[in-house]
Amino acid sequence: MIRGEAEITLRGSERDAAEYRAALSRIAEQSAHTARLVDDLLFLARAQAGTPRLRLGAVSLDGLARRVVEEVGSAAAAAKLRLVVTGPPVEAAVEGDAGRLRQVVMILLDNAIRYSRPGGAVELLLLPGPGQVVLRVADHGIGIDPEDLPHVFDRFYRGSLAQEHVDEGSGLGLPLARAIVEAHAGRIAIESRPGEGTAVSISLPLAARARRVDVPPAETVRPAPRGAADAARGRA
């Protein structure tokens, strides 16, 4: 696409500046899309090799998820869908890469919107758990055939219902989401029934300091045993 756009622009008579700017804008957009695809493939390859690259820091999953919901609001409205965030705010932080975690939430919401029917709803739920926080995205759309369900995390795989409903798709969304979640020592699970919808849940361990929310009064605080901080970083 990039090569074709450039060749067409260079072919023939001189064009005015506006035409060149428009062509360059399309080339830049296509280049950015290609760069994102290459970056995702590199992340998958590194994750498989056990060397994913993450920029770790304390991330409010609740705040991040609500911002992504706002970002995809126009897409949901265009698809005639309601976006519903349920549950109270979850005041807990996970230790992770904010950009990659945002990508996970975006993938889940994008899939839910893409494979839903007009007039339905997409629900996002956050729940705190022992040493972890769970994010769940559910739709009431086309669902996934039982024979396709074991393969949804395979690269480039698209189920039969997905292909019938939407022609476009790389088959990289869920494999990338799983790689990112597992790189954060988390888990991802999917449930689906054809014609009834799909729900994807991810669980991520809390940041060590986020686990100690209820601190006793100062006079009763005792030092944590050695090694407790290291243990708190383990898989939830």
- pTM as predicted: 0.75
Residue 30: what pLDDT? 87
List the helix and strand counts (H, then E) for the chain. 8, 7
Average confidence (pLDDT) over 152-159: 78
Asked if pLDDT for residue 187 goes beyond 50, the answer is: yes
Q: Return the CA Rg of the chain.
A: 21
The residue with tokens 């290459």 is 38
How many angstroms separate the CA atoms of 158 and 226, rounded?
A: 48
96-109 pLDDT tens trace: 999 999 999 999 99
Task: Please check whether residue 148 is in contact with residue 159, taking contact to mean a CB–CB distance below 8 angstroms.
Answer: yes
Q: How far is CA 197 from CA 87, 181, 188, in A?
A: 20, 22, 17
pLDDT higher for 141 or 90? 141
Weakest mean pLDDT among 3-12, 63-72, 151-160: 151-160
pLDDT higher for 2 or 138? 138
Average confidence (pLDDT) over 138-146: 90
